[in-house]
Amino acid sequence: MDRLTNTIRPYAWGSTTAIAELIGVEPTGEPQAEMWMGAHPGAPSRTERGPLDEVIDEDPGHELGRATVAKFGPRLPFLLKILAAGAPLSLQVHPDLEQAREGYEDEESRGVPIDAPHRNYKDANHKPELICALTEFDGLCGFRAPVEAADLLAGLGVDSLKPYVDLLHAKPEEAALREVLTAVLTADPERMAATVTETTAAAERLGGAYAPYAGIAHHYPGDPGVIAAMLLNHVRLQPGEALFLGAGVPHAYLDGLGVEIMANSDNVLRCGLTPKHVDVPELLRIVRFEATDPGILRPEASPDGEEVYDTPIDEFRLSRFVLPEGAAPHALTTATPQILLCVSGSVRVGDAGELTPGQSVFVPADEKAEVSGEGTVFRATVMA
């Protein structure tokens, strides 16, 4: 097995302290948003044998296992991250597999450069994802019922929001959500900026349920995404709780530290809270306009002590072991590839030795592995 050296991505929304505190080093003063663990070509983990993507390319059958290669091809199907949000991420949505393939083929056929700012599809894969909170974690996930969104907007007492309130009351669910989001994202920029400014002042004054949106507006003044965000459920996760985000579900992370796992893809359609490209027609094709319960996940414990976060997809499986002092070793050998990540205490993983918070190892398929010690370790693998 291979100890991993991982890249920390310095995106502007990243916390300046959370990852440094987790791994026990002095903060640099710069944002540290994500630590990537995996074989994504954008920032592959490094091993003593070389970059993990190159290690896998040399012998995918051995590293991933034949069943994984047969099902997903010769690449690691997931990307594991530590995510540290110090400011809201962009409001976004991900395509399903068919939409991703269609979008990618269309942009390829039109010759849109892969690194073009207006490119939507960087690959032909979908991007379901799971975020598990390590600290209290705030986010937005899925649409509210239209009547709930209408009541939230109406409570601000902002006259320019009344047309949206009326639409939310007058139309069936799908039409109401679609028409209001479309109207918000296509409104005259100057008028919308004025609406957002007035909305922000009201949200700051009222507090309570409006406080998260006042905080968003502080980071993105005048952005129409502030109004769009109020159509979504606000969720506060406690440590150990998680959210699964499937295709078409609008979402954003606002604040907190968590472990995130996703299918190996970069496909994102943005709805706001960003200076980046927002492709409104394509976004409207991808979004599922239906009210949803965010569905907070709590791990299900198995007899051997593994706590599993159940999700409806096969590209990844996330679980954790919370190991008390003196616990017997847990055997982890499996026919699929694994990444093991320590987030607290000190754990020993086979011949890779001791792991402290923030340290991780890659375990090839069928390689004998066991974990022991005192602490918490996350296990990422696939359902092959």
Residues 6+ apart with CB under 8 A from 162: 154
Secondary structure class of 335 (helix, strand, coil): coil
Give kind and range of the element (H or E) at residue 138.
strand 137-143
Q: At what angle do helices 173-186 and 146-154 cross, to 10 degrees?
A: 40
CA atoms within 13 Å, Cβ hemisphere of 57: 9
Look up residue 160 and give its DSSP letter: G
Residues 6+ apart with CB under 8 A from 166: none
**275 — phi, psi (to 5°)?**
-85, -5
**379 — phi, psi (to 5°)?**
-120, 120
Rounded distance, CA 62 to CA 380, Å?
18
Structure tokens at 76: 């690691």
Structure tokens at 319: 């679980």
Catalytic residues: 270
Give CA separation, 186 vs 159, 183, 281, in Å. Answer: 18, 5, 10
In the chain, the largest separation of any two C-alpha atoms, in whole Å, equals: 65
Residues 6+ apart with CB under 8 A from 208: none
Rounded distance, CA 181 to CA 351, Å?
53
Beta strands, E only, 186-284 = 232-237, 242-245, 251-263, 269-272
